[in-house]
Amino acid sequence: MSTQHISRVGIIGLGAMGKRVLTALQNDHLPQASFAAIDHAVHSDEFIQAHRLEVFTDVQGLIDWRPDIVVECAGHSAVTGPVLEILRAGIDVVIASIGALADKQINAALDQAAHDGESRLILVSGAIGGLDALRSARSAGLEAVVYVGRKPPRAWAGSPAEEEFDLSKITEPTTIFRGTAAEASIRFPKNANVTAAVALSGVGFENTQVELVADPGVDRNVHEVQASGAFGELSIRLANNPLPDNPRTSWLAALSIEEAVAKQLHCLVF
């Protein structure tokens, strides 16, 4: 019985979240490990040298580098592309963009790739928390799970809400969407990861109810989950600060990735 050894870490995507995760892993969790990334953006020599980083522009280059684990921070397109190939190559992958799993075909393809490669797909909770309690309650039977997402009106710019509402004139909490987690993941992809995390932990995409609210009374992204079942009732509420480097991304989402990798370090292998 021993702890899992991770000495080579790959990262897909070096945007604000990818850079934050890279820095945290190097400074706090895996200071002696080697790091490589897939990214098409141009990075300075200073950045690459400071992070002792190899950068590849294609997935095969990263696979040939043979990482012990890969972390996806690049969005849904990475899940349907590089992640599938890496799983088939027998390499475990931590994915941040779990909203992609709302698509049943993608979900099945990931399961098959992990099976073929004898690898693991590791999901993170992202910007939501407390889902261990929801998963525990599921074993006794859940009757209802409702997720409510609240953001300031301006934060819904660029979403379908902008086509139906004058966001600049909203002066009280206004529901901009009500439906299933499956529908919300498709129509509001920027909220897909949170709704997916709740759906996967509870009653699934079709049975999880979602309400999205433009609320001028909040200045952060607020996530609320209510569930009921044989266990009783559960209520979770988080108000998340954004990443300092990217106001569109929750800081907690990046922290959840760091925690997922750190957990693998202390996972007992028999």
Spacing of C-alpha 153 from chain mean position: 23
Q: What does DSSP assign to residue 95? A: E
223 has catalytic annotation: yes
Q: How far apart are the C-alpha atoms of 96 and 147, rounded to whole Å?
A: 19
Catalytic residue among 40, 43, 115, 223: 223
Could you list the beta-strand ranges (E) of 106-260: 121-123, 142-151, 174-180, 209-214, 221-229, 232-240, 242-243, 246-250
Q: How far apart are the C-alpha atoms of 252 and 199, rounded to whole Å?
A: 19
Q: What does DSSP assign to residue 29? A: I
The region that residue 126 occupies, defined by phi over 0 for left and psi between -120 and 50 for alpha, beta otherwise, is left
How many alpha carbons lie under 13 Å from residue 252 in its C-beta half-sphere?
16
The region that residue 195 occupies, defined by phi over 0 for left and psi between -120 and 50 for alpha, beta otherwise, is alpha
Residue 108: how many CB atoms within 10 A of its CB? 11
Secondary structure (DSSP) of 83-101: HHHHHHTT-EEEES-GGGG
Residue 270: how many CB atoms within 10 A of its CB? 4
Q: Which two tokens stand for residue 207?
A: 């049975």
Residue 190: how many CB atoms within 10 A of its CB? 15
Residues annotated catalytic, as ranges = 223
